[in-house]
Every structure is written in C-alpha cells, then in structure tokens.
Amino acid sequence: MEPDLDRLFDFESHGGLFPQFRSVWDPVYSAAHGWVDKLRDSGKGRTRVAIMATHPLSFAALFLAFSREEVDLFLFNPTWGRVELDTARRVSNVQYEISDSGPGVFACSRNEAARLSTTVEMGRNLLRVMIPTGGTSGRIRFAIHDWSTLAAAAYGFQAHISCSKMAGHCVLPLYHVSGFMQLVRALLTMGSVVFGRLETFEREHALLLAEDREVRFLSLVATQLERLLRDEANIPRLKDYRAIFIGGGPAPVGLLERSRSLRLPLAPTYGMTETGAQVATLSPEQFLAGEMHQGRALPHVRIDIVNEEVTSERMPVGEVGLIQVLGMSLFRGYYGDTLSKSNLSVLTTDLGRLDEAGHLMVLGRADRVVITGGEKVNLREVEMVFEASGLVSDVHAFGIADREWGELLAVAYVPQDSGVSEGTIREVIGREFSNYKMPKKWIRLSEIPRNEAGKPNLPELEAKTSA
C-alpha cells in the first residue's frame, strides 16, 4: 500500500499539519531541508541518519524533510544514558546524528568510523524508518518500517475508526511508535496534530478545537490519564475527544471504572512497534457499555491465538495462547538481522484469547509467571481475579525469591475503599483459587508506584515485602 506522497507533501509543506507551529514552520522546515541537501550525496550506499531531537517542532521538520529521501532514518531517544546511546550507535552504525539545542536549531555530528551500508533492494520504498524497541530490557533493537507498512497501519486504523481524517493530541514521545504514528496518521489523512505535555494540556487541547470532535483523538498510557484526572477541570476536556486510546499494558481496573462513570470515551488498544502500533481497538461505545477487552482486529491485520508449545496450532475460541498478528503493517525485520521484504506474521510473547465475536482479551506476557513449590502461576490470571472481585481499584502480582518455595507469590493491592479489609479480600479470593495460587505476601497500599510508562515499580514493591 503506497500513499500519494506528492499530494501529501504539498499539503504539509505549507505547515497545515501543525497548527501550533504555523507561524514558525517555514524557516524551520527550510533549515531541516538544508541538512537533507548536505547529506544527500554522502557517499556510496544508503545514508544512515539518526534524529535525536528534543523538541517536537525539530523532530517533525526533520522527519518530513527526509521522508522522500533514500535514507535509513533512526529514531534516537534523546534521554538515553551513555550505555543505551552507545548500544544504539553500535547497532545502527549511523553516519550522522542530528540534534537540536532549541526548536528548529539543528546541529549535526558525523561518525567518521561508520561503515558503508550493504545494498538493500528497496523498490519504491526509498525511506526506511528504524523505530527503537526493547530499551527497557537493556537490549535496544530497531524495527524497520517503510511507507508501505506505515500506510497500511494508518489507513487500517482510519477505516476501523471510520473518520475522514485524524486530528491528534500527542503527549507521547515521537521516538516511540505510539507517538510517531500519531504524526504519520495526521500526515497520511491530511489531518493535524498538536504536541504537548500534561502540564500544558489545556493549552494544546484548545488548539484542536477548530477540528470537528469526530476527528479528534488522544493517546495516553494509564499513568497519564490518572494524572489528568487529578484536576477535575480536565474532565470536560477529555470528553471533547472522539476516542482516548489507552495502551502500554493493562490499565488499573479502578481507573477504567472511574473513567466509565465519568463517561470518558476510552478505547483500550493493543499493538507494538513491530506491528506499526494499534492492531486491535475497543470502540468508546463498547467501553461505555461495560465491555472489558481490547476490541476486534483492525481491517489490515488478522489476529490468531496459537498454542504456546506448538505455535503452528491455532487455539479454539475462548482458550488462552500466544497472540500472533498477520498483516500488511508488520515490520520488515530488525536492523542488522537478515532482512526479508516483508514479515507475514509476528508471534508475540503476549498471552490472550478471542471470544466468538472476535474480541481480543490480552492477558499479559507469557513470561509473567512464578514457579512456587513446583507449581506454575500466571500473574495476570491472579490480577484478573482480584479485579473481578470488585474489592480493589489496582493490583499487581509478582514473585520474590524464597529458599523454601523457590518463589513466593506476592500481591500489592489498593482497596476499593478504606472499609475493605484484607480478611474480606482473602475470603473472596480464596473461593476462586487453589491453595498454591493464593498469595503468601500481601501488601496494602494507597497507590501502586508506577513509572512514566505506567509500569509498576518492581524494586520499590519488592522493598515493601521486607518492610
């Protein structure tokens, strides 16, 4: 699937994509193009360039300036530390890094030791975008996308949502697929996008009000939504969006219930860097009606549930297995690995199940298990039983090393209200579980500590088990 780049770039070259940058767009875009001209004839082979911009204006201008070039464009996280940055440079072998010291103020450094790239058959896909993944695990890799995969993801998303164009409010980092795809969707649908932070949410939100509500979208992780809801003035603003996409892992059940009671148009999603972001999304209407899953597969993909042991075997409806994604938006491989023209499927490490209507329920990572007393316990299964009890607003299960048991099953939980006792919860949970699945460590908290991505802070929780 190839977008009409000539028509699209005629639109964006006038700054119509970025209402907040309209008055400063032309000189910044020209400066970005100046660097494209300097690097275009850098030698034999494909030029490898890293964008390490801190300001969204800088990032947007550089990306669009390079978008029709024969270049491998790497998205670097400007907050990486020395070890992560050294790893990214080693994996990517970039020839140039372009950074900014302010909005649209560019500087370029050259790696004189960079090797020439090998010849890669590209066809019409001149641009390749290398999106980082796996940074939190310490093993940074770059998933390869091009205009075909990006367009399949954007247009499939548009068809699923059924809207004429996309106007996005982006508060997620542009080097991450969840932020980057908001820019791509706006470009390919000739929409608009504003960039901001939670601290300035009201200001950037106002910039999108010129667009019809039916095309306004917001993407958040659960922690960001929780923080926005601390200010009640944000509630009517959040209702101004057609959909608020929530990804990045399971959201606390208490947050989902509060959002539903406030009639917020949440749309829980599932996707990853390798799939071009979203591949399954629940509609806000279904969410408000009480449904609790990640929705149906988007039109450009198929989702299967396969056997963990025999991955060629598809699981029956309702049974749990590994999530497999097939479709046109899948990445071309990891940079540096043996490349193929396309990936027909991606086998994830996430567990899930499909119901008879094709709704996907994501159950968490397959490696989220503990082995206690020789018995395997799925941590997400434990959490879901706690959530279904209606007695907790947030919960996280984890294992801690133990000499006798190998691992002890621990659970940190936030009671639905102060009147809910641990004894009450133990009694309700005990009816659902075998003895070996009952947590042996219980940690009652007013709030589960989480990082910026919404993931529980495991070292802090482990410290509480010995407090």
| pLDDT tens column, 279-330 | 999 999 999 999 999 999 999 999 999 998 888 899 999 999 999 999 999 9
Helices then strands, counting H and E runs in the chain, come out as 14, 22
Name the most confidently modeled range: 110-114, 226-230, 431-435. 226-230
Helix (H, G, I), strand (E, B) or coil at 375: strand
Burial of 10 by CB count in 10 Å (0-12 exposed, 13-18 middle, 19+ buried)?
Answer: exposed
pLDDT band at 58 (very low <50, low <70, confident <90, very high): very high
CA distances from 362 to 42, 179, 192, 458 (A): 46, 22, 31, 21
**320/354 same-domain check:** yes
Q: Which amino acid appears at position 231 of this protein?
A: D
Confidence (pLDDT) at 121? 47
pLDDT digits (tens, 9 = 90+) for 171-194: 999 999 999 999 999 999 999 999
CB distance 297 to 357 below 8 Å:
no
pLDDT of residue 136 exceeding 50: no
CA dist., res. 223 & res. 255, Å (int): 9
The half-sphere exposure of 71 on its side-chain side, counting CA atoms within 13 A, is 26
Confidence (pLDDT) at 181? 97
Burial of 291 by CB count in 10 Å (0-12 exposed, 13-18 middle, 19+ buried)?
Answer: middle
**246/387 same-domain check:** no
Query: Which of 7-16, 227-236, 274-283, 457-466 shows the lowest mean pLDDT across its residues?
Result: 7-16
Name the most confidently modeled range: 12-26, 121-135, 313-327. 313-327
Confidence (pLDDT) at 413? 94
**335/373 same-domain check:** no
Average pLDDT (154-163) is: 94
Cβ-Cβ contacts under 8 Å for 210 (sequence gap 6 or more): 19
**90/184 same-domain check:** yes
Confidence (pLDDT) at 15? 63
Confidence (pLDDT) at 341? 53
CA dist., res. 198 & res. 192, Å (int): 19
Q: What percentage of the chain reaches a pLDDT higher than 90?
A: 63
**439/357 same-domain check:** no
CA dist., res. 341 & res. 401, Å (int): 44
Average pLDDT (214-235) is: 94
pLDDT band at 125 (very low <50, low <70, confident <90, very high): low
Nearest to 440 by CA among 398, 403, 409, 407: 409
CA dist., res. 175 & res. 295, Å (int): 26
Q: What is the mean pLDDT of the chain?
A: 88
DSSP 314: B
Cβ-Cβ contacts under 8 Å for 35 (sequence gap 6 or more): 62, 65, 98, 106, 108
Number of other CB atoms surrounding residue 70 within 10 Å: 14
pLDDT of residue 3 exceeding 80: no
Confidence (pLDDT) at 402? 80
Confidence (pLDDT) at 252? 84
**250/116 same-domain check:** yes
**115/202 same-domain check:** yes
Q: What percentage of the chain reaches a pLDDT higher than 70?
A: 90
**349/405 same-domain check:** no
> What CATH number should be reported for the domain holding residue 55?
3.40.50.12780
**357/395 same-domain check:** no
**348/421 same-domain check:** no
Confidence (pLDDT) at 137? 44
Domain termination residue (choose one: 362, 388, 412): 362
Q: Which amino acid appears at position 4 of this protein?
A: D
Domain termination residue (choose one: 341, 362, 383): 362
Helix (H, G, I), strand (E, B) or coil at 429: helix
Average pLDDT (364-391) is: 86
CB distance 62 to 96 below 8 Å:
no
**297/229 same-domain check:** yes
pLDDT band at 122 (very low <50, low <70, confident <90, very high): very low
Number of other CB atoms surrounding residue 45 within 10 Å: 15
Confidence (pLDDT) at 372? 84
pLDDT of residue 135 exceeding 70: no
Largest CA distance in the chain: 71
Tokens of 120: 């890669």
Confidence (pLDDT) at 123? 46
DSSP 190: T
Burial of 118 by CB count in 10 Å (0-12 exposed, 13-18 middle, 19+ buried)?
Answer: exposed
Q: Which domain holds residue 173?
A: 5-362
Which residues are registered as beta bridge partners of 302?
Answer: 326
pLDDT digits (tens, 9 = 90+) for 65-77: 998 888 999 999 9
Q: Which amino acid appears at position 223 of this protein?
A: T
Average pLDDT (384-398) is: 91
Nearest to 413 by CA among 401, 425, 400: 425
Place of tokens 């193929």: 340
Place of tokens 């066809």: 123
Overall number of domains in the chain: 2
Residue spans of beta strands (DSSP E) within 307-405: 321-327, 345-354, 360-365, 369-372, 375-378, 392-402
Name the most confidently modeled range: 312-316, 376-380, 397-401. 312-316
Domain termination residue (choose one: 345, 362, 379): 362
pLDDT band at 116 (very low <50, low <70, confident <90, very high): low
pLDDT band at 44 (very low <50, low <70, confident <90, very high): low
Average pLDDT (90-95) is: 92
**155/294 same-domain check:** yes
> What CATH number should be reported for the domain holding residue 406?
3.30.300.30
